[in-house]
Amino acid sequence: MTIRPSALVLADGSVFHGEAIGAEVSGGISSGEVVFNTTLTGYQEVLSDPSYAGQVVTFTYPHIGNYGTSPDDDEAPAPFCRGVVVRDLARRRSNWRSTEDLDGWLARHGLAGIAGVDTRRLTRHIRDAGAMSGAFGTASLEALADAAAAEPGTNGVDLVSVVSTAEPYTWGSGPRRVVAYDFGIKRTILNHLATIATVEIVPASTPAAEVLARQPDGVFLSNGPGDPAAVLGAPATIGALLGEVPVFGICLGHQLLATALGGTTFKLPFGHHGGNHPVRRLADGTVEITSQNHNFAVAENSVPGATVTHRNLNDGTIEGLMVADLRAFSVQHHPEAGPGPHDAAYLFEEFAALMDASGPRTAAGRGA
């Protein structure tokens, strides 16, 4: 194997050296917003999660690629992230499910990466300075620095339009009917929803009237990438659904629900990315270890009439909201995991119970 020297240059001029892995991209440059993820396993699920669109993912765990990749672990047909940074890329895979090594998976999807990086130093730098744009590859340091400076990051960028489905499709055959807005939905979420409902996934731009015409028992607002303020039209659409049908949102769906209710969002210094974030369920004080992947959060006291249901124990940010009279609730974390713990998986059953309590749909689109 030929070693290809590579480097990562951040927008503040910091330089990290390593070697190129994955695809050889045109011009030898890949760029995006550099973030770090603390999960120990599930690198394939992380890289294929559409929520990482526009970002370069740094794994804090030092050994990545140990168990290869499997088609069953893809969260989307193709990754939307901009690249990957690792300390040590495993030279051989060891798992009976594996069909391809990580380097081959990256190359097949046209995704570049850089290995041999001091990811501990990089993570500490991002934690202290905040997530920032960067560029990596085999090009000169000067070219990488220029690319990092030109990279817009995720603030104010509509990434949902890049990852959302172009046409509706159906998933599963559960007993209820749910319409899911695809803001960047993961397959693991669809698999969980399919245990409680037959799910029709629709593009992010689908009008509320078209959704209500399908007479669903509930509407799901999916995860997705980037800045919720850039998803124009979504809050108004969600507002037209509230009170008409039960609504459940996860991650970006949580932020968009809060926005529809009159709330505001803000960008976290370096986001929450990993599978070990403690969250307190305020109803009974239970602490859940959760999977998280977001850069933005709902601002405190900004959502009139909403009850805060969950809190992040690391920084106190809002992790869950509920508006009982509108039959709507949401969480910032990922109860479906993929990867991560399943402490919060009960929320899908709570969605099912909310739909059942609301009664069947009528032709007019309201609960009977």
**Quick check: is 336 catalytic?**
yes
Residues 6+ positions from 298 with CB-CB distance below 8 Å = 254, 255, 258, 263, 264, 265, 317, 318, 321, 332
- Selecting among 19, 75, 151, 336, the annotated active-site residue is 336
Q: Kindly give, in sequence order, each residue whose CB lies less than 8 Å from that of residue 145, ignoring residues fewer than 6 positions away.
A: 9, 13, 135
Burial of 96: CB neighbours in 10 Å, binned 0-12, 13-18, 19+: exposed
Give CA–CA dist 38/41, Å, rounded: 9
Tell me the CA distances in angstroms from 146 to 7, 9, 10, 11, 155, one per residue in order: 13, 9, 10, 9, 19
Strand boundaries in 127-212, DSSP class E: 132-137, 169-171, 176-182, 197-203
How do 132-137 and 30-37 pair as beta strands? antiparallel
Looking at 125, 272, 277, 334, which residue is catalytic?
Answer: 334
Residue 81 bears catalytic tag: no
Q: Out of 251, 273, 277, 294, which one is annotated catalytic? A: 251
Q: Assess whether 251 carries a catalytic annotation.
A: yes
Catalytic positions are: 251, 334, 336
